[in-house]
Amino acid sequence: MSDYSVAVYSAQECKFYSSSKTANLADLSAPRNAPLPDSQQLDAIHNSLKNDQEFACSRVIILVPDAWLSVSQHRVDHLIPSSLRPLAALSYAVETTFSPPDSLLFSYQYEALSAQQSQLAVYACSSGWAEQLSLPFLSISKTCLLMPIGQWEAISPRKRSWLSCSLRALSLYQPEKQKRLKTRRLCWYLVVLSLLLHSSASAYFFFLEQESKYAQAERQAIQATQSAWSSSHDSNEFSASVLGLIQALPMSARLGYFESEDQRAFLKMTLPAKDLALLLVVWRQHNSDWRWEVEQKPHHLASPLAQKEVVDVSIKVFKSE
- Tens-digit pLDDT profile for residues 71-99: 999 998 888 888 888 889 999 999 888 88
> At which of 209, 230, 251 does a domain end?
230
**Residue 161: partners with Cβ closer than 8 Å, 6 or more residues away:** 2
Q: Which pLDDT score is estimated for 216? A: 82
Q: How far apart are CA 6 and CA 94, in angstroms?
A: 28
Whether the predicted pLDDT of 123 surpasses 90: yes
**Are 216 and 272 within one domain?**
no
Q: How far apart are CA 120 and CA 111, in angstroms?
A: 7
Burial 188-227 (b: 16+ CB within 10 A, else e): eeeeeeeeeeeeeeeeeeeeeeeeeeeeeeeeeebeebee
Could you report the per-residue pLDDT of 30-60, keeping only the tens digit for each? 788 888 888 899 999 888 877 654 566 778 9
**Are 184 and 111 within one domain?**
no
The CB-side HSE value for 165 (13 A sphere, CA atoms) comes to: 27
**Are 226 and 269 within one domain?**
no
Q: What is the CATH number of the domain that holds 245?
A: 3.30.1360.100
Ordered strands of the 70-76 beta sheet: 70-76, 117-126, 104-114
Identity of residue 286? H
Confidence of residue 1 (pLDDT cuts 50, 70, 90): very low
Confidence of residue 305 (pLDDT cuts 50, 70, 90): very low
**Are 306 and 257 within one domain?**
yes
Q: How far apart are CA 300 and CA 182, in angstroms?
A: 50
**Are 104 and 180 within one domain?**
no
**Are 217 and 281 within one domain?**
no
Angle, helices 39-50 vs 127-138, to 10°: value is 20
**Are 49 and 81 within one domain?**
yes
**Are 135 and 12 within one domain?**
yes
Q: Which pLDDT score is estimated for 113? A: 86
> At which of 185, 203, 230 does a domain end?
230
Which stretch, 100-109, 202-211, 258-267, has highest mean pLDDT? 100-109
**Are 257 and 307 within one domain?**
yes
**Are 251 and 273 within one domain?**
yes
Identity of residue 143? T
**Are 292 and 319 within one domain?**
yes
**Are 283 and 138 within one domain?**
no
The proportion of the chain whose per-residue pLDDT surpasses 70, expressed as a percent, equals 89
> At which of 201, 230, 259 does a domain end?
230
Count the Cβ atoms, other than its own, within 10 Å of residue 43.
12
Where in the sequence is the domain holding 182, given as residue range(s)?
Answer: 176-230
First to last CA, the chain: 86
Are 49 and 11 in contact by the 8 Å Cβ rule? The answer is no
Number of independent structural domains in the chain: 3
Are 249 and 255 in contact by the 8 Å Cβ rule? The answer is yes
In degrees, rounded to 5, the angle at the alpha carbon of residue 90 between the alpha carbons of residues 86 and 4 is 65
